[in-house]
Amino acid sequence: MSTEIPDDPTWDVAVVGGSLAGCATAIHFAEKGYRVTVLDKKPLTDQHYKQLCTHFVQPHTVPLLARLGLGHLSEPAHSVTTKAVFVTPGGVVDTPGPGYDPEQPDSYALNLERRVLDPAIREAARQRGVHFLDDTAVEGVTEDDSGWTLDTRDARGTHRLRARLVVAADGRRSRLAGLLGNEAEVRPNERVALFGYFTGIDTRADNRSVFIMNEWDLACTYPLVGGRTELVLFADKARVAEWRGADSRMEEFLKYFDGLAEAPSVADAVPESPLLGYSDYPSQLRAPVAGSVPFVGDAALSLDAMAGVGCGFALLTAELLADSLDGRSLAGDDLREGLDQYRRRFEENLLPHAEGICGDSLVGKNEATRLRMFETICESQELSQKYLALTGRMVRPAEFQREFMRGLMARSKRAART
């Protein structure tokens, strides 16, 4: 994909990082008429896509895809329209209909693989005139009164670019964060993640994605395009500590799913590849703005993958940033006010979810409290709906908490009368 540096290497917006958040940011600014370039240290061919992703795209993300011109990715040729079912200690959280919101039948989730999504969003950016400089590392950034100078290196040597605005979209190991002193706050994650792709597994006819809570683990079954299935396990680190070696790990992994009554049979499962995953993936939170550089996607907020918010939050941060700067110049007080607005919107929309997700990344919490919580949810259709909406990031945690406390009090009153 690498594009030659033009004769005038001066841009309105330079986005560092060419994954989802970077490309989405580039699309939004290009649609506003800005000259935009995307720089990425990797070669962005059609065969390049993020592999450490479980592909469950939450329902709040689907409208964000449509706004980027990617609504066609909801079609059966590209993804599987799905909805979550949670098997919990207190019962099954499920609601009728295809949507998460009964008033919005199309409020569904997608099992959309990154091998499809990543090339599609890059193509959408190219179609809007975004310039790509892939296989190009940013080695330094310097700000002056008129904007930024970026010192870069590629296979041809070193180059210098100018931009009025620089956006950091370069992931959880953000090089720009290091250059700008935007240190990450690290939160522990006590689970490992393992996942693989299989044929020969019969999933539910309604294409529901099933999430099974087993002690402090979460075992997930995702139907994919072409009759394939992804199995995902987020497990207490101690449980899988002895699963060593690729063959032994696959055997134990399938044995685990075979031992879950609510999971589909894996007797005829055929792996497409070895298991993928990670053993240590703490959550990271950075300031959404460092100086006059906004951070989007994993560069700002990289959370436990069990929450399934990576793709959605990447696109959401890009949209929040673009909307905050809409109608403003990219300099002076106008820029500062826009970045302040982005910071506020980031904190209001994302941090409440992040706190809950970080809490869920810890195992060994009070079992009795957890049981009571899910019993209360499962007894109420309204609470079940709210819980699904919370997991789909369609409502904020405080809204769910208010409904849950009402349900808990009503349950206590019923118990007192019996």
pLDDT tens per residue across all 418 residues of the chain: 555 555 567 999 999 999 999 999 999 999 999 999 999 999 988 788 898 899 999 999 999 999 999 999 999 999 999 999 999 999 999 998 889 988 887 899 999 999 999 999 999 999 999 999 999 999 999 999 999 999 999 999 999 999 999 999 999 999 999 999 999 999 999 999 999 999 999 999 999 999 999 999 999 999 999 999 999 999 999 999 999 888 999 999 999 999 999 999 999 999 998 999 999 999 999 999 999 999 999 999 999 999 999 999 999 999 999 999 999 999 999 999 999 999 999 999 999 999 999 999 998 878 899 999 999 999 999 999 999 999 999 999 999 999 999 999 888 888 777 6
* Alpha-carbon gap, residue 362 to 219, rounded angstroms: 16
248: tokens are 């032994």
Q: Nearest CA to 363 among 239, 222, 195? A: 239
* Alpha-carbon gap, residue 238 to 190, rounded angstroms: 9
* Alpha-carbon gap, residue 199 to 133, rounded angstroms: 38
Taking each continuous run of H as one helix and of E as one strand, the counts in the chain are: 11, 22
Give CB contacts under 8 A, 24+ apart, made by 406-410.
407/376, 407/377, 407/379, 407/380, 407/382, 407/383, 408/372, 408/376
Which 3 state secondary structure label does DSSP give 158? strand
Q: Which pLDDT value is given to residue 411?
A: 85
Q: Which pLDDT value is given to residue 308?
A: 96
DSSP per-residue letters across 212-247: EEETTEEEEEEE-GGG-EEEEEEEETTTTTT--SHH
* Alpha-carbon gap, residue 36 to 25, rounded angstroms: 9
216: tokens are 């402090």
Q: Nearest CA to 296 among 335, 345, 330, 332? A: 345
CATH class of domain segment(s) 56-113+189-278: alpha beta
Computed over its alpha carbons, how large is the radius of gyration of the chain?
A: 22
* Alpha-carbon gap, residue 123 to 68, rounded angstroms: 11
DSSP per-residue letters across 296-336: -GGGTEE--GGG--HHHHHHHHHHHHHHHTTT--SSHHHHH
Q: Which pLDDT value is given to residue 48?
A: 86
- The total number of residues shown for the chain amounts to 418
Q: Which pLDDT value is given to residue 254?
A: 97
- Domain assignments of the chain as residue spans, ordered by start: 10-51+117-186+283-356, 56-113+189-278, 363-417
Q: Which pLDDT value is given to residue 46?
A: 79
Per DSSP bridges, beta strands 191-199 and 185-187 are unpaired
Largest CA distance in the chain: 81
Strand partners, 84: 209
Which 3 state secondary structure label does DSSP give 156? coil
Which 3 state secondary structure label does DSSP give 162? strand
CA angle 224, 226, 229 (to 5 degrees): 35
Topology of the domain covering 10-51+117-186+283-356: FAD/NAD(P)-binding domain (3.50.50)
User: What's the whole-model pTM score?
Assistant: 0.95
Q: Which pLDDT value is given to residue 6?
A: 57
At position 23, the amino acid (one-letter code) is C
